């Protein structure tokens, strides 16, 4: 016997029915036994809960998404405020821009947090 739910909601999160069908076809080609439907739904609820928790945690700790251009904008504004010349600011922004390819956000954060500044 094959069980395919036409609509599925897990804690107010819609489940992609095509993904559910693909899952069933791959792992249960002869249909999902009735007793396993509840287990699969429970695992889906756990995954949805973990996803929501991850999103909320990300929103809590990051008020805005990262922007290389915003970082350079902060550097330019600060450099202008302390009176660096146009050439010094150009050199600074080029050096910062060059670091994007060689350092991760975490490495940059660690460098700042471990610096005497």
- Summarize the confidence of residues 99-109 as an average pLDDT: 88
25-55: per-residue pLDDT in tens?
A: 888 888 888 777 777 777 777 887 787 777 7
**DSSP characters for the chain?**
-----S--EETTEE--HHHHHHHHHHH-TT---HHHHHHHHHHHHHHHHHHHHHHHHHHHH-SS---HHHHHHHHHHHHHHTT--HHHHHHHHHHHHHHTTTS-HHHHHHHHHTS--
Domain segments of the chain as ranges = 9-61, 68-113
Which pTM value belongs to this model?
Answer: 0.45
For residue 41, count CB atoms less than 10 angstroms from its CB and return exposed for 0-12, middle for 13-18, buried for 19 or more: middle
């Amino acid at each position: 016997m094959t069980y395919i739910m036409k609509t599925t909601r897990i804690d107010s999160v819609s489940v992609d029915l095509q993904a559910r069908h693909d899952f069933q076809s791959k792992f249960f080609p002869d249909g999902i036994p009735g007793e396993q439907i509840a287990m699969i739904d429970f695992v889906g609820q756990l995954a949805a809960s973990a996803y929501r928790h991850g999103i909320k945690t990300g929103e809590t700790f990051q008020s805005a998404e990262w922007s290389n251009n915003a970082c350079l904008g902060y550097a330019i504004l600060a450099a202008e405020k302390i009176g660096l010349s146009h050439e010094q600011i150009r050199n600074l922004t080029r050096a910062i821009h060059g670091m994007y390819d060689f350092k991760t956000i975490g490495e940059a954060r660690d460098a700042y947090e471990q610096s005497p500044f």
